[in-house]
Amino acid sequence: MTGTQRRGRKIMMTSQELDTFLTEQRTCRVATVSADGTPHVSPLWFVWDGTSMWFYSLARSRRWADLRADGRVAVAVDAGEGYGELRGVELSGRIEFVGESPRTGEPCPELGAPERLFARKNFEMDEMFHDGRHAWARLTPDKIASWDFRKLADL
């Protein structure tokens, strides 16, 4: 095993650190690929429920069209300014669409918890409002990689 691999394991976030980080962060970068193979990266607010990342995206956006055509996605969430402060998570897998598109507020028990989390985190509201322009997608990642360069001080 190389030194880089050992260091990588030492700076990985624990499960609890990862949950805390993803719960606290607001913005991720979502990477998709268009039907013609053109990559696209865009920022998006999200919520983490401990298992899955939930996205509330404009249903008439390039990101949404890309995901409808090819549900594979990669997502990055990171924080920190100086090198020794950098930390983040990369997640990848396939998107699942949940609820109607666009979302108008039709009953959908599966969206109860993520909508409450999203409304509280981003709007300081107890209930989600629906504008008829956004829709929900869930990523339950197949792969997660994390790093926390603040741990380098201990190496």
pLDDT in tens, 12-30: 999 999 999 999 999 999 9
- The average pLDDT across 30-36 equals 93
Whether 155 maps to a domain, the answer reads no
Whether 40 maps to a domain, the answer reads yes
Q: How confident is the model at residue 9 (pLDDT cuts 50, 70, 90)?
A: confident
Whether 34 maps to a domain, the answer reads yes
- The average pLDDT across 93-116 equals 95
Domain CATH code at residue 61: 2.30.110.10
Count of the separate structural domains present in the chain: 1
Task: Report d(CA 70, CA 65) in Å as an integer.
Answer: 9
| Residue 155: pLDDT over 80 | no
Kind and range of the H or E element at 141?
A: none
The boundaries of the domain holding residue 93 are 3-150
Three-class SS state of 96: strand
How far lies 2's CA from each of 14, 125, 149, in Å? 21, 49, 18
| Residue 8: pLDDT over 80 | no
pLDDT in tens, 110-145: 999 999 999 999 999 999 989 999 999 999 999 999
Beta strand segments in 80-142, E? 87-98, 134-139
Q: In this predicted structure, what is the pLDDT of residue 68?
A: 93
